[in-house]
Amino acid sequence: MIADYKKLYYDTLKPLVNSLDASRPYLLSSPSNGVETEKQGGYSENPGDTAYGDIHFYTDFDNLWKDSTYKTPRCATEYGIQSYPLRDTMTAWINQSEWTYGSKSMNLRQHHTGGAINNLVLVYQHFELPIACGVTKSSELLTCEQFTNSAVYMDDFSLLSQVHQAVAMQVESEHYRR
């Protein structure tokens, strides 16, 4: 597999791109260790090394409002945090009845297994849990039908997730600018 990768991106595309535009450096991948990757023959064992090149940073397990959560790379070319759109946006694509946190449509938009719980934990570490559910941990919300089957709760959660995303993106962007 590595040999095929090198053949395509290093032996084939790199000379072609350089012949078309030699004014910019050709990067074999992103993330990349730049010149270090070139020295290693076009493939790096650790392409996200913060000492070289660039990184992609995503985490679903840390407090994203804390500056210390983030690495200090030479360059971060990709990062972000998931949030939920407002009802009017989503119901253009899903049935109104599917606008609940526990619906099949909302679970299908998760980026990975466990994403539904991760989102609850990330958001509710900064906001109060819904009182009506009587839970003490955000992960317990998935057992509360008032939360998982309610469009009103989904409206509230989508807004909280957007606020969480905005603050997290601000903290991370400011971290990288320092």
Q: Residue 41's pLDDT is what? A: 81
Confidence of residue 31 (pLDDT cuts 50, 70, 90): confident
**The tokens 């526990």 sit on which residue?**
102
Burial of 85 (0-12, 13-18, 19+ CB in 10 A): middle
Cβ neighbors of 29 (< 8 A, separation 6 or more) are 9, 37, 47
Whether residue 164 is predicted with pLDDT greater than 90 in this model: the reply is: yes
Question: What is the rounded distance in angstroms from the CA atom of residue 126 to the CA atom of residue 121?
Answer: 9
In 10 A of CB 143, how many CB atoms?
A: 10
Segment 80-114, tens digit of pLDDT? 999 999 999 999 999 999 999 999 999 998 888 88
Q: Give me the long-range contacts of 59-63 (CB less than 8 A, separation at least 24).
A: 60/112, 60/114, 60/115, 60/118, 60/119, 60/122, 61/118, 61/121, 63/125
Cβ-proximal residues to 79 (8 Å cutoff; 6+ apart), any chain: 56, 57, 58, 172
Which pLDDT score, from 0 to 100, does residue 15 have?
94
Of these ranges, 21-30, 33-42, 140-149, 157-166, the one predicted with the greatest mean pLDDT is 157-166
Q: How many residues does the chain have?
A: 178
For the segment 13-37, the average pLDDT, to the nearest whole number, is 89
Mean pLDDT of the chain: 91
Averaged over 167-174, what is the pLDDT? 97
- Compute the average pLDDT of residues 132-141: 90
Note whether 124 and 133 are within 8 A (CB): no
Assess whether pLDDT exceeds 90 at residue 129.
Answer: yes
Look at residue 106 in the predicted model and tell me its pLDDT.
92
Q: Residue 149 — pLDDT band, cuts 50, 70, 90?
A: very high
> What are the domain boundaries of the chain?
2-79, 87-177
pTM of the model: 0.83
Cα–Cα distance between 51 and 65 in angstroms, integer? 24
